[in-house]
Amino acid sequence: MDEVFKALADPSRRRLLDSLNVRGGQSLRELCTGLAMARQSVSKHLAVLEGANLVTTTWRGREKLHYLNAEPINAIADRWINQYDQPRVKALADLKTALETEKMSDTPEFVYTTYIKTTPERLWRAITDPVFSRNYMGHAIESDWTKGSTYAWVEGGVRIEHPEQVILESDPYRRLAFTFHTFVPEIREIAPSLTEATIAELAAERRSRVSFDLEQEGDQVKLTVIHDDFGPDSMVRGLISQGWPRKLAGLKSGLEER
């Protein structure tokens, strides 16, 4: 956590995080323009933020896009803020709140990166084996995991199947991608706060897409989850931004405790 606190100590780096919190997926050029900072300075600050896992990146063609990554902030909050109610940690508490209540309409993708002390083989099994994923993330995905195959999403006693729930990519131990599950009326058994009208609106949105990328880094695996292809002002985008961090935290703790 030392790298995270060091990264957050600099006001220019906090400005970069604020900018990415408002709108994720910015290029280096966009960040420089929006913050009126020199390109070299922004590059150096981004390198520190990436090193602390506060910023994660993806490539779109030749363009590198930057996203704020909430995982380290959530870890700090779980270890310190939730245990100690002291004024000196209020700034971090406010940042955590800001991350959890960001304007979803301004961020077209959900990008989350975490490092798990495990192997690609064990992590792949934890994601794709229904027994393990149910224990770690609270849901199971049942499929033969070949490209083009359909799958069943099982959670809270609800089994969701649909011809458009499809495996898009399946490269064992490296990458997995699939279209997201369907919003059926029975989903209220999982999320009782959703009304029938809300579920109908969610079901009317175009189907989004989820990808898991696994990269070995020393004795850890870097897991990047990207959930994208949302429609304008997507309600689904807002819902999954709360669900995925909780599920991925369970995945990390489950694998590292074994």
Residue 103 has pLDDT above 70, yes or no: no
**pLDDT for res 99:** 45
CATH of the domain at 250: 3.30.530.20
**140 and 93, same structural domain?**
no
Higher-confidence residue: 1 or 188? 188
Summarised one tens digit per residue, pLDDT across range 232-249 is 889 999 899 889 988 998
Residue ending a domain, choose from 74, 102, 130:
102
CATH of the domain at 68: 1.10.10.10
Residue ending a domain, choose from 84, 102, 120:
102
Higher-confidence residue: 87 or 24? 24
Are 192 and 174 in contact, with CB atoms under 8 Å apart?
Answer: no
**pLDDT for res 79:** 54
**pLDDT for res 80:** 52
Q: Give the range of the structural domain holding residue 133, as residue numbers without chain letter.
A: 110-257
**pLDDT for res 27:** 93
Residue with tokens 């704020």: 68
Distance between CA 228 and CA 205 in Å, rounded?
13
Residue 97 has pLDDT above 80, yes or no: no
Summarised one tens digit per residue, pLDDT across range 109-164 is 899 999 999 999 999 999 999 999 999 999 999 999 999 999 999 999 999 999 99
The alpha carbon dihedral of 204, 170, 132, 74 has a sign of negative
Which phi and psi (to 5°) does residue 36 adopt? 50, 45
pLDDT above 70 covers a percentage of the chain that reads 86
45 contacts: CB under 8 Å, gap ≥ 6: 10, 12, 13, 16, 37
Q: Where are the alpha helices (DSSP H) in the chain?
A: 2-8, 11-22, 28-35, 39-51, 71-76, 90-100, 120-128, 130-137, 196-204, 235-257
Closest to 199 in 3D by CA, of 221, 181, 211: 181
pLDDT band at 83 (very low <50, low <70, confident <90, very high): low
pLDDT band at 175 (very low <50, low <70, confident <90, very high): very high
**51 and 121, same structural domain?**
no
The domain tally of the chain equals 2
Mean pLDDT of the chain: 87
Distance between CA 257 and CA 46 in Å, rounded?
32
Closest to 199 in 3D by CA, of 181, 207, 210, 187: 187
